[in-house]
A and B are shown apart, each in its own frame.
Chain A
Amino acid sequence: MASVFQLRRRFLCTSSKWKVKQVTTSNFEESLQEIKTHISSSDYVAVSMARTGSPSPPSWLRPLPFDTAQTAYSKARRAAHRFQVLHFAVCPFSVSHSDKLLAHPYNFVLFPRDELKMGMPAYSFSSQTSLLASMARRGFDFNACVYNGISYLSRAQESAAKVRLGAALPSLREVKSSSSPTVADTVFVERTRSRIKHWRKTFERSGTSTSRDEELINSLKNIVLGSEQFRSRPCMTIDVCSERQVQLILEMLVDHSDDLLPLLIPTKSGTTHALRIVLANSKEDKELLERELQNFEEEESKKIRGFREVIDSISASQKPVICYNCLNDCTLIHSKFIAPLPLEVDEFVSSLHSIFPNVLDINYLMKKHGTMRKVTNIPSAISYLNNNFFAPVDLEIPDQATVKEGKIHGLNALRLGYLFMKLCSILKISPNVTDSGNKHLAPELEDFTNVFHPCSPPIQDSSNAGDVGVWTNNTRKISCEHLVFLWGFNLGITAGMLKSLLRSSHNIFSREFDVKLVDKSCAIVVFWQPGVSKQFLDIMNSEEMSGDLKELVSNGLRVTSYETYDRICRLGLWEMDLRESLERALENSWCDEKSNCGTKSSEIHWYNDNVINLDDL
């Protein structure tokens, strides 16, 4: 390339000099073509996005250290559903032998504009004032976002939109030879075959006759019988009940492939509910129609998909995706660009796996590295690595000259790529392993792919906890059964005061236990010995309470097990205060006895990040 502008920063990383191409509606088309080629020639794709909100302390809706994979996922699901993404940074990069990084960073400004006037992609969305204000401080241009942001539709929304637009897809599906037909199949095929035959006959007859009267009669007949037309060619619609029947009809139509073109009419859920069979004048006419439809569909789809084209091409490339927080980013991507998020984390993980087979979590990689525990964001991680390690990374960003001057956003994706290279170099991992010409992930890195764990600062960092002093930094693995939620105490009490209050209330608290405030009105109690929490819950439910504990309960102290917490996350009983949610769950519990929220992963790491590996599930 003639205008290659090389950036070599061996020892210092001043990311302020980096430029990222900003993409809005005006330059989307050309940038899309560019990035598609870059993605296909890259080794990795780093992504990063800015959202309009994310739960933060003191809200209990933020990821907490005692969340299981399921509860953490439920919280991420809520946030992904509620909030909007305003810009999406994508940085495909490739790595050469000498640790040279070739990056193509882009930042797409998004706005969920309702292009089709259908209330999609988002009828409304929530935003946090504090987050918007901090974006404003960093110079984010909201006018550019609303005026010129690129819209999109998720895959699920696209198929729903197509149904409502009445655009039928030509069936491009291959006709596979299916398993041996049953009797019902044969009957169905024969019935359909004869229907089509009769239908064709009417046109053959009308084709031969030239009398005007007959034409008039025919058109009247068409109106009366409800004959349809598709692009000025006659067509008929056949209802189907299953994909199997679709297959059968397609197989049958192979014999008539000269002039009959079958089109699938999809339902909202993406399945087919009917087939439209179009009768073309000739073989050439059929091909013409096919091409016409394909072009039309391409154009329409482009308009409909918008930014999702980028996601689709990342997905199609099957390249490893790098993000900073897998759970947050992937739930957001799934809910905005693929389909609404399923209720269960397992379903989500497998659904995501089909889109991005390898997702690398940089945050997790850094934590595993050990010394990086306290780093909370990407720029500080980079400066930490620069200050403490000698790990030169040669970064080259072509096309820098073409980037217009102005505010640069979406640097984080580029930084992620850079950070990844540095980490690989420090950890002595080769980013690529070439095996008979095919590049694939190093086995060391595979341990860090598809890890969906809640990323939260360790609980001892929260402000109200600093003065308790009973918490050690030791990681202790405990079962969820050891945890009890407690609320109904006086507001403003500290965890230490609550602990001493409990200790003096009943002799069950003579055993080793700890107390932690979750939010201002609710605390979590951990009993280190097995079975004690059960005992405590039993005592709280029995009549034989006495003394101070009885006094506390009379004043409104309530307890419940971890299972209730699990349930509120599943059911989405998101109240501002955790105690309100817990109370609601307890009120409702009588009507769904059947909920067997099997705690598949009831083990959590107290104080540690809760890591659940995709492949273990």
Chain B
Amino acid sequence: MIRAEGLAKRYGSKIAVDDITFTVRPGVVTGFLGPNGAGKSTTMRMIVGLDRPSAGTVTVNGRAYAQHAAPLREVGALLDAKAIHTGRSAYNRLLAMGATHGIGKARVREVIALTGLESVANKRVGGFSLGMGQRLGIAAALLGDPATLILDEPVNGLDPEGVMWVRNLARHLASEGRTIFLSSHLMSEMALTADHLIVLGRGRILADAPVAEILAASTRTSVRLRSPQADRLAALLRGPDVTVTPTEQGALSVTGLTAADIGDAAAGAGIPLHELTPVAASLEEAYMELTQDDVEYHAGGAGPTGRAAGSDPAAATGTGTTEYQEVAR
């Protein structure tokens, strides 16, 4: 169980993490999703005390990480695995880390076997590929058999088999009742691994909900239409399962009806239509929409249209889908 309250981190005038509050629960895989620079890594580093929060607190199982008698048994963390380049062998690196807690050779060999590093365990880590480094980082995280596992971009650099392995490992460990918190900037990966999502953008939480909920909301198809008699048409279409939202003068966004239903209804009532467009949001699009205003480094081109849609958690539930389409044009 990880609990952050009013957590914030500033570097000079730059705000990396902006007053976030969340809980990561045991027994499920919680995904931490957001574009690069959103503050995911900083948040994870604050959880294990590598970075000092500018404000707020974060606890693991009710205590600050540093206050635990056996920190490695509470939390195993994989942070920034790519930085591992050393003259030490994987075996010695793990042995040195474990020694602080009296974790011996047997357990070190166990995690080496678990992460498939047997053949390279005595090689110097400097020659490791990104995928090997990632496996070593995961081995280090598992060393203390921790109740909480924090993995920052764990599938980075892994081959498809490795990705599958991490996914199964995370799900298996969660099923044992552990707290699993893993970050990614890939929605598709999270959709397969996580049960719950916390979406971060520019240091703020954009959404905090079960994956199923975010999926259901964001994959709902909507229909965009234009009509000179939009108000009359809106009144005609409204129903128990139908939401009609005026988007601009003479334009509506309708969910709960197909384009054919709307076209037939309009024809029946003699209302002219100037546009009738089904708008389907994919998972990736829903995520893009959620975070578009909060991406720190745009690739250029379309700029943000304003923070309203992105920063409002309600937008996470998909009503703003059409706006994403507008921007994309």
Q: Do A and B come from one complex?
A: no
